[in-house]
Amino acid sequence: MGRSPCCSKEGLNRGAWTAMEDKILTAYIRAHGEGKWRNLPKRAGLKRCGKSCRLRWLNYLRPDIKRGNISRDEEELIIRLHNLLGNRCPLFLLLQ
């Protein structure tokens, strides 16, 4: 007795996302906001699973994602926090 499957998995696109799919997803989220990922693909007109849409947005398309190398100051902060807290606390929570 768990949650029902999010989709039938038949007729869905799998693999790499196209630029057009990225544009559709980004436009939909800008218009309607994040959330209700299970309903998003059908409402946005994407042939993807809701989980795939959620992960694509959170890991690749979000505008506030920082890409590239960390700065020297950020590296020093991480080392200082690790020396202070050890492995007890996820550092990414402190850096937000």
Residues 24-72 pLDDT 10s: 999 999 999 998 899 999 999 999 999 999 999 999 999 988 888 989 9
Between 7 and 52, name the one with better pLDDT. 52
| Predicted confidence (pLDDT) per residue in 17-27, tens digit | 999 999 999 99
Same domain, 57 and 77: no
Q: Per-residue confidence at 78, pLDDT binned at 50, 70, 90?
A: confident
Q: What's the pTM value of the predicted model, to 2 decimals? A: 0.69
Residues composing the chain = 96
H helices of the chain, where? Answer: 19-32, 40-44, 50-56, 72-85, 91-94
Query: Same domain, yes or no, for 47 and 78?
Result: no
- The answer to whether residues 75 and 53 belong to one domain is no
Which pLDDT value is given to residue 89? 62
Q: Indicate if 24 and 57 belong to the same structural domain.
A: yes
